[in-house]
């Protein structure tokens, strides 16, 4: 059975088409993290939607490995899912703008991976906090 809690992330809460992403980018309202962070959050206010919608852009040029791109998207979706109730109505796009670092020395140390993921999540949460407080 599918949960109907306010904390789910439905397809209707996602941006799907390139035109939707373009509208958010053309609004030119964005939030940047502290110096050295690799994320930026674009926002376009819309009163005709009931809840916020989100899209994520992770270029292959900046994040080479598919596993890392997917991990970044998971962190972004989870942060959005937990904060969606407090976010303003509109569309937003989380975008990677700089290389975020590798997962370590290739030996697959889970501690390094979890620390890296935690760092990404903290940066993403900080951007959402900026949006809420603006």
What pLDDT does 2 receive? 46
Residues forming a β-bridge with 39 = 96
Can you give the pLDDT at residue 5? Answer: 54
Q: Tokens representing 123?
A: 């940066």
pLDDT of residue 62: 92
The CATH architecture of the domain made up of 11-99+106-133 is: 2-Layer Sandwich (3.30)
**Which of 48, 43, 117 shows the shortest CA–CA distance to 79?**
117
Say which residue the tokens 């940066």 belong to.
123
Give the pair of three-digit tokens for residue 8: 């789910």
| C-alpha torsion sign, points 109, 115, 116, 121 | positive
Parse the chain into domains and list their residue ranges. 11-99+106-133
pLDDT in tens, the chain (134 residues): 444 555 667 788 889 999 999 999 999 898 987 776 789 999 998 888 788 999 999 999 999 989 899 999 999 999 999 998 899 999 999 999 988 765 444 555 555 778 888 888 999 999 999 999 98
């Amino acid at each position: 059975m599918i949960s109907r809690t306010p904390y789910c992330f439905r397809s209707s809460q996602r941006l799907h088409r390139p035109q939707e992403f373009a509208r958010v980018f053309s609004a030119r309202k964005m939030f940047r993290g502290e110096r050295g962070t690799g994320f930026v959050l674009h926002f376009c206010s819309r009163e005709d939607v009931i809840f916020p919608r989100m899209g994520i852009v992770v270029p292959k040029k900046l994040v080479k490995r598919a596993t890392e791109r997917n991990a970044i998207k998971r962190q972004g979706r989870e942060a959005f899912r937990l904060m969606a109730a407090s976010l303003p109505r509109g569309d937003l796009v989380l975008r990677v703008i700089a290389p975020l670092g590798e997962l370590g020395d290739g030996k697959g140390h889970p501690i390094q991976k979890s620390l890296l993921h935690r760092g990404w999540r903290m940066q993403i949460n900080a951007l959402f906090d900026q949006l809420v407080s603006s």
